[in-house]
Amino acid sequence: MSVDLVLCNAKAYIDKQIVDCSFAINEGRILKIGKEATMPKAETKIDLKNLLVLPGLIDVHVHLRDEGKAYKEDFYSGTTAAAAGGITTVLDMPNNNPVTMNVAALKNRMEKAEKKILVNVGFYSEFPKKNSEIEKIIAEGAVAFKLFMAEQVGGLNIDDDAALLEAFGIATKMKVPIAVHAEDKLTLKEAEQKFKRANCNDIDAFLKAHSEGVEAKAVKRVLNLVKQVGTHIHFCHVSTEDGLNAIVDEKKKGVPITCETTPHHLLISTDELKRIGTLALTMPPVREKQHLTALWNGIKNGWIDIVASDHAPHAVEEKKAGTVWDVKVGVPGLETTLPLMLTEVNRGRLSIAEIASLMAERPAEVFKLTNKGYLKEGYNADLTVIDLNKKYRIDASKFHSKAKYSPFDKLAVEGKPVKTFVNGQLVMEDEEIIANPGSGQIIRRE
Residue number with the smallest Cβ distance to ligand DOR: 330
Residue 76 DSSP one-character state? H
How many residues bind to ligand DOR according to rule CB under 6 A? Answer: 8
Q: Which is nearer to ligand DOR, 30 or 280 (CB)?
A: 280
Enumerate residues 297-356 that contact ligand DOR by CB under 6 A.
312, 329-330
Q: Which is nearer to ligand DOR, 283 or 341 (CB)?
A: 283
Give the CA distances from residue 34 to residues 2, 20, 357, 360, 386, in Å, rounded to whole numbers and listed in that order.
Answer: 16, 9, 23, 21, 20
Q: Which is nearer to Zn ion, 39 or 246 (CB)?
A: 246
What is the Cα–Cα distance from 218 to 85, expressed in whole angstroms?
A: 32
Q: What is the DSSP string of 344-355?
A: HHHTTSS-HHHH
The mark string for 168-187 relative to ligand DOR (x by CB under 6 A, - otherwise) is -------------x------
Choosing from 63, 146, 232, 287, the residue that interacts with ligand DOR (CB under 6 A) is: 63
Contact 181, 236 (CB under 8 A): yes
The minimum distance between CB 219 and Zn ion, in angstroms, equals: 13
Q: What is the DSSP string of 151-216?
A: S--SSS-TT-HHHHHHHHHHHHHTT--EEEE---HHHHHHHHHHHHHTT--SHHHHHHHT-HHHHH
The minimum distance between CB 63 and Zn ion, in angstroms, equals: 6
Contact 63, 407 (CB under 8 A): no
Give the CA distances from residue 161 to residues 137, 181, 221, 243, in Å, rounded to whole numbers and listed in that order.
Answer: 22, 16, 9, 19
Choosing from 25, 182, 207, 283, the residue that interacts with ligand DOR (CB under 6 A) is: 283
What is the Cα–Cα distance from 416 to 291, expressed in whole angstroms?
A: 27
Q: Which is nearer to ligand DOR, 113 or 350 (CB)?
A: 113
Q: Is 61 in the site for ligand DOR (CB under 6 A)?
A: no
Choosing from 184, 215, 310, 318, the residue that interacts with Zn ion (CB under 5 A) is: 310
Q: Is 282 in the site for ligand DOR (CB under 6 A)?
A: yes
Selected range binding Zn ion among 124-132, 204-212, 267-275, 306-314, rule: CB under 5 A: 306-314
Residue 40 DSSP one-character state? P
What is the Cα–Cα distance from 420 to 423, expressed in whole angstroms?
A: 10
Residues designated as active site: 310
Q: Is 181 in the site for Zn ion (CB under 5 A)?
A: yes
**Interacting residue ranges for ligand DOR, rule: CB under 6 A:** 63, 95, 181, 282-283, 312, 329-330
